[in-house]
Structure formats: C-alpha cells, structure tokens
C-alpha cells in the first residue's frame, strides 16, 4: 500500500508543473543571487544560472536536495525550500537573459 502511495506521489509530482508566479519566484531567487549573480555581468563565486533550461535546473536543485548531487554548499541552500519553491526558482532563472 505504501508503495502505491509513493508511486502516485511521484506521478503527481512529475505531471503537474507549478504555475509560474513571477513575484514569488523573484523573492525566492534573491537568496541565490548573492553567490550566483543574476546574469554574467553580476556573476560572483558560483556558476551563472541565467538562461539555464527550466527543467534541467529544477532537476539539479532536486538532486541537491535529496543528496543525489553533492557540492560544497548547495545542499544547505536548497534544503529548506519545498519542491514547488525550487520549481519557481528554476522558472525565474530560465527566464533571465544570460548577458
């Protein structure tokens, strides 16, 4: 029974993308820009996120959160966001021009 619930949960998570909320997304993404900048011009210590495809960015963030992807500090930064919030953040950066 538990397995079925888990499978249903996965299907639910993957088939319904959250609707992009520009204001919420920007507020959530501000905490990332101190290290990542907004675009190439404002890039700081971390790779530029602007213009990354939304789905791959979202997947990377989920992988950091569930420990599939490791790094120096990203796990700490994504752990308190819900999956929906990470998707909003992914929308935000994918909608920004790289330069």
Q: 43: helix, coil or strand?
A: coil
Helix (H) / strand (E) element for 15: namely helix 2-15
User: Among residue numbers 15 through 74, which ones bind ligand HEC (CB under 6 A)?
Assistant: 31-32, 34-36, 45-47, 49, 57, 60-61, 71-74
- Structure tokens given for 9: 């949960």
Query: Which residue's CB is nearer to ligand HEC, number 13 or number 34?
Result: 34
State the sign of the Cα–Cα–Cα–Cα dihedral 26, 16, 83, 98. negative
Q: Does 96 bind ligand HEC (CB under 6 A)?
A: no
Closest approach of ligand HEC to the CB of residue 38, in Å = 12
- C-beta of residue 64 within 8 angstroms of C-beta of residue 54: no
Site residues for ligand HEC per CB under 6 A: 31-32, 34-36, 45-47, 49, 57, 60-61, 71-74, 77-78, 89
């Amino acid at each position: 029974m538990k397995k079925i619930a888990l499978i249903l949960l996965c299907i639910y998570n993957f088939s319904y993308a959250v609707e992009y909320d520009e204001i919420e997304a920007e507020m959530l993404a501000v905490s990332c820009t101190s290290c990542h900048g907004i675009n190439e011009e404002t890039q700081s210590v971390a790779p530029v996120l602007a213009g990354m495809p939304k789905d791959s960015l979202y997947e990377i963030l989920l992988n950091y959160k569930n420990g599939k992807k490791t790094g120096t500090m990203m796990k700490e930064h994504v752990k308190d966001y819900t999956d929906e919030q990470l998707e909003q953040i992914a929308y935000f950066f994918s909608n920004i021009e790289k330069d």
